[in-house]
A and B are shown apart, each in its own frame.
Chain A
Amino acid sequence: DSGVTQTPKHLITATGQRVTLRCSPRSGDLSVYWYQQSLDQGLQFLIHYYNGEERAKGNILERFSAQQFPDLHSELNLSSLELGDSALYFCASSARDRGDGYTFGSGTRLTVV
């Protein structure tokens, strides 16, 4: 157990629907990063939050949004889902506003049918 909790582990939904993925960072970590990993692909950075504030955006689609709450958990909202959104979604946390020392969760596998 890495200490980073992601729920749900699996999600199957239809095209056009909206889903919310949840991430609880490791205790004491203020930064949360979201990554998308498609089949046999690398890790595509989506967005970074630090202590509730958005710090950086990657190749995140306009249909996707995220936020980090006062208790530091984060949610990634994916709307108007398309087949191509099927992927593993990982969050990672770190203690500071810096990338070193990332700890990843076990991911949410999203399948859009």
Chain B
Amino acid sequence: KQEVTQIPAALSVPEGENLVLNCSFTDSAIYNLQWFRQDPGKGLTSLLLIQSSQREQTSGRLNASLDKSSGRSTLYIAASQPGDSATYLCAVRGSGAGSYQLTFGKGTKLSVIP
């Protein structure tokens, strides 16, 4: 059974700092990994999708990397802003019988202090 862990559970940083969020998964047989942002009480906004054949994806100040063999992904946020404050979730789509579902971590709650 695939399990996804995100560390840290919460993070508070001053504005302008670069930061890294971590995601690990137990089964490396995945199709892809997706990073989402969730504002309080709201739905999920897709940030980046990395296919299993890719090593990284970039969008603006965000960069996500994937090391499938070690079961790890990182989300790098450059020059953080107060508007980046949210919960960040990673999710993997496994291959095989569980390929129709995303398995999520519990998220990292980020606070960027002005």
A binds B: no
